[in-house]
Amino acid sequence: MKNMMFLDPHIHMTSRTTDDYERMRQAGIVAIIEPAFWLGQPRTEPGSFKDYFSSLVGWERFRASQFGIKHYCTIGLNSKEANNEALAEQVMELLPLFVCKEGVVGVGEIGYDDQTPAEDKYYRLQLELAKEVNMPVQIHTPHRDKKSGTIRSMEVCLEHGIEPGMVIVDHNNEETVKDTLDRGFWAAFTIYPHSKMGNERMVEIVKQYGTERIMINSAADWGISDPLSVPKTASLMLERGISEADVRMVCYQNALTAFGQSGQIQESDWLESTSVDQREKFSNNSVLRGGQAPKVGEVESSGDLPSNIVR
């Protein structure tokens, strides 16, 4: 995979370490998109959302840059926390303050979890916000009753007059991919080590459906997950006879095209800026700790998986 570049369009780096950033860059990941998401336990105050959104457009963007990775995000109220309506109403007032900030490439991840009336209400409100600011939508499809929840997610988008080409439907599987593609939406797949979509299954999906409007991501959240899922799956695809051009579409270009509609992400962002300076600070904070020597200069990327990584 020499000189291949990867874009992970759904990865929760808030839950990862700087070691992950180093390994990701070594493996050829040049850009990532971090959706606002559920943190594992309920937030209880609107201020916690404000600080979290601020970290996505601030500290985390800086932290990624210190390892030669361009960081973007999507901003939204996740479906789980939409069920706390008193809090959700206050979060809705915050969203317009963030969705047009630099580096924000969409409204997300939003959608359904248990498909409650409250989830439906705030999903629709956020779709209207995305329409107002002309931003792509990143949809979280439910873990339970996935097929009907996925179809419902798309039908509601159409009800609100949102073009399918502006919507990335995430967490697809074999049960949902045909419906998603047939309706003209982008079909994203989350590659998890032991659940959702494994990379062996992903290879078969690409062989069956091709590469049009298909992309993969790692999610890489607080649970057991893998921030190298995209390059690992790319490696397996190449081994199984999928062309490098097709791998590039699924692991890089399609995500760039879909989220590029925001006007906030373009290939020149990383092609024209390939150096780091770890002497820099953000809010007087550095990624380094006492006695560590800062890296300054061009970022080296082999485009290969780290030698100690087993796919």
Q: What is the pLDDT of residue 310?
A: 40
Residues 176-183 have a mean pLDDT of 97
Determine the Cα angle at 41 with ends 35 and 46, to 5°. 70
Per-domain residue ranges of the chain: 6-279
Q: Which two tokens stand for residue 103?
A: 């580096």
What CA–CA distance (Å, rounded) separates 45 from 53? 13
CB-CB contact of 88 with 81 (8 Å): yes
Which single residue is written with the structure tokens 């494994």? Answer: 198
pTM (predicted TM-score): 0.94
What CA–CA distance (Å, rounded) separates 197 from 101? 32
151 has pLDDT over 60:
yes
Q: Pick 6-279's CATH classification: 3.40.190.80, 3.40.50.2300, 3.20.20.140, 3.40.50.300.
A: 3.20.20.140
The H or E element that residue 186 is part of is strand 186-190
Q: What is the pLDDT of residue 22?
A: 94
181 has pLDDT over 60:
yes
Between residues 143 and 141, the one the model is more confident about: 141
Q: What is the dihedral of CA 83, 87, 88, 94, to 10 degrees?
A: -160
Ramachandran region, residue 92 (left: φ > 0; alpha: ψ -120 to 50; beta: rest): alpha
143 has pLDDT over 50:
yes
197 has pLDDT over 90:
no
What CA–CA distance (Å, rounded) separates 70 from 147? 33
Between residues 307 and 236, the one the model is more confident about: 236
Q: What is the pLDDT of residue 224?
A: 86
- Which tens digit of pLDDT belongs to each residue from 4-61? 999 999 999 999 999 999 999 999 999 999 999 988 888 999 999 999 999 999 999 9
Coil, helix or strand at residue 17: coil
The H or E element that residue 107 is part of is strand 104-111
Q: Which two tokens stand for residue 183?
A: 């309706």
Instruction: Tell me the one-letter amino acid at 200.
Output: E
Can you name the residues that pair with 107 across neighbouring β-strands?
75, 137
147 has pLDDT over 70:
yes
170 has pLDDT over 90:
yes
Q: What is the pLDDT of residue 309?
A: 43
